[in-house]
Structure 1
Amino acid sequence: MKYLVMVQGSQADYEAMRGQASAHSPAWSEKDLQAMFAFMGEVNNDLSESGELVDGNGLAEPAQTRYVSAGKDGKPVITDGPYGETKELLAGYWVLDCESLERVTEIAARVATCPAPEGAPPYPVVIRPIQDGGGCV
């Protein structure tokens, strides 16, 4: 079965990774970033070798996002990010093809142990099964 494994983050997290501390997170050093990249590289390599990796990417910061919805008149309403009302957004994802929910949970638990500087907030990892048949909802 295929699963979407998502790492959550916020605009403040991206800023911390650029060295800008906040009440939300301490500033990340170059050493912190390299440890995180090395860890994620190992995860990606292991998933590739096991044949479970379908796709995966980190996403640009929320400040570079655009939100599109239908207005009351049916015309699109376009808003540039970041969105102050949204605390956590998708920071990165994997599409995995795993034998069981237990296996993908094991992978998500590993991802949740990604190194971060002392005092950094936990970065939740969310698992969603992908429905067979494709198509839009």
Structure 2
Amino acid sequence: MKYLVMVQGTQADYEGMRGKASGRAPAWNETELQAMYAYMGAISDDLSESGELLDAQGLTDPAQTRLVARGPDGKAVITDGPYSETKELMAGYWVVDCASLERVTEIAERVTRCPGPDGLTEYPVVIRRIQDDARDL
């Protein structure tokens, strides 16, 4: 079965990774940042070696996000980020093909142990099964 494993974050988290601390996120130093990239890269490498990895990407910060919605008049309303009213957004993901929900849960649990600076917000890792066909609704 295919699953989407989502990592979450906020604009403040991305700013923290650039070394700019705020009340909502600590500043990362270069050593912490490299440890995080190495840790996440090792997960991707292991999933690739096991044949479970279909895709994995980190996403740019919410400030580079654009929302497109339909307004009351039926015309598109386009809003550029960041969105202060939005809590966390997807910061990156893996698409995996695993034998079971238990296996993908093991992967997500490993993701939760990613290193970072003291005071880092720990977001849950979200697992969503990818629909195979209309029967999965």
TM-score, normalization by structure 2: 0.95
Q: Which residue of 1 aligns with 2:37?
A: 37
1:58 aligns with 2:62: no
- Specify the code of the residue in structure 2 equivalent to 1:83: Y
Secondary structure of the 1:67 match is: strand
Q: CA deviation at 1:123?
A: 2.8
1:87 aligns with 2:87: yes
CA–CA distance in structure 1, aligned partners of residues 17 and 123 of structure 2: 13
- Specify the code of the residue in structure 2 equivalent to 1:122: E
- Specify the code of the residue in structure 2 equivalent to 1:82: P
- Specify the code of the residue in structure 2 equivalent to 1:123: Y
Q: CA deviation at 1:133?
A: 2.5
Q: Which residue of 2 aligns with 1:76?
A: 76
CA–CA distance in structure 1, aligned partners of residues 123 and 42 of structure 2: 18
CA–CA distance in structure 2, aligned partners of residues 14 and 54 of structure 1: 25
In the alignment, structure 2 segments of 5+ residues that lack a partner are none
Q: CA deviation at 1:73?
A: 1.3
CA–CA distance in structure 2, aligned partners of residues 127 and 112 of structure 1: 12
Q: Which residue of 2 aligns with 1:13?
A: 13
CA–CA distance in structure 1, aligned partners of residues 62 and 53 of structure 2: 25
TM-score, normalization by structure 1: 0.95
Q: Which residue of 2 aligns with 1:47?
A: 47
* Moved beyond 4 Å, runs of 4+: none
Q: Which residue of 2 aligns with 1:125?
A: 125
Question: How far does the alpha carbon of each residue in 1:61-92 deviate from its partner, in whole angstroms, 9 at most, with x for none?
Answer: 00001000111111110000011111100000
CA–CA distance in structure 2, aligned partners of residues 131 and 122 of structure 1: 28
- Specify the code of the residue in structure 1 equivalent to 2:17: M
CA–CA distance in structure 2, aligned partners of residues 89 and 133 of structure 1: 26
Q: CA deviation at 1:121?
A: 1.0
In the alignment, structure 1 segments of 5+ residues that lack a partner are none
CA–CA distance in structure 2, aligned partners of residues 25 and 76 of structure 1: 34
Aligned residues: 135
1:111 aligns with 2:130: no
Instruction: State percent identity of aligned pairs.
Output: 70
Q: Give the alignment's Cα RMSD to 1 decimal.
A: 1.2
Q: CA deviation at 1:119?
A: 1.2
CA–CA distance in structure 2, aligned partners of residues 82 and 130 of structure 1: 28
CA–CA distance in structure 1, aligned partners of residues 59 and 117 of structure 2: 20
